[in-house]
Amino acid sequence: MLMPKSYKYIAALALSLVAYLHSHATPLAASITPVPHYAKNFEITHHATHRIVTIRNVHSGSTATHQYALVPKGETLPKLPEAITVIRTPVTRVVVMETVYIGYLDALNQLDTIIGAATPNYVSNATIRARIEDGTIQKVQFGAALNIERMLLLQPDLILTSITGDAAFDIPVKLARSGLPVVLSAGYMEQHPLARAEWIKFIAAFFDTEDLAEQTFEHIATRYESLHETVEQIEQRPTVFCGAPYSGAWHMAGGESYVAQAIRDAGGDYLWAEVPGSGAIPLDTERVFRKAAHADIWINPSFYQSLNELCGADQRFQKFHAVQTGQVFNNTKQRTASGGNSIWEGGIVHPDDVLADLIKVFHPELMPDWEFIYYQQLK
337 Cβ contact list (under 8 Å, min separation 6): none
Domains, the chain, ranges and CATH?
29-218 (3.40.50.1980), 234-377 (3.40.50.1980)
Which strands make up the sheet holding 280-283, listed edge to edge? 245-246, 249-253, 280-283
pLDDT at site 146? 87
DSSP class of 169: T
CB of 130 closer than 8 Å to CB of 152: no
Strand positions, DSSP E, the chain: 42-46, 51-56, 65-72, 85-89, 94-96, 114-118, 138-142, 145-146, 158-161, 182-184, 239-242, 245-246, 249-253, 269-270, 280-283, 297-299, 328-330, 376-377
pLDDT at site 35? 67
Q: Mean pLDDT for each 10-residue chunk of the chain (379 residues)?
A: 40 41 39 73 94 90 90 95 96 98 99 96 97 97 86 97 74 76 93 98 97 98 98 96 94 96 98 92 96 98 96 96 99 96 98 99 98 98
Total-model pTM: 0.88
pLDDT at site 20? 39
pLDDT at site 100? 98
Type of residue at 12: A
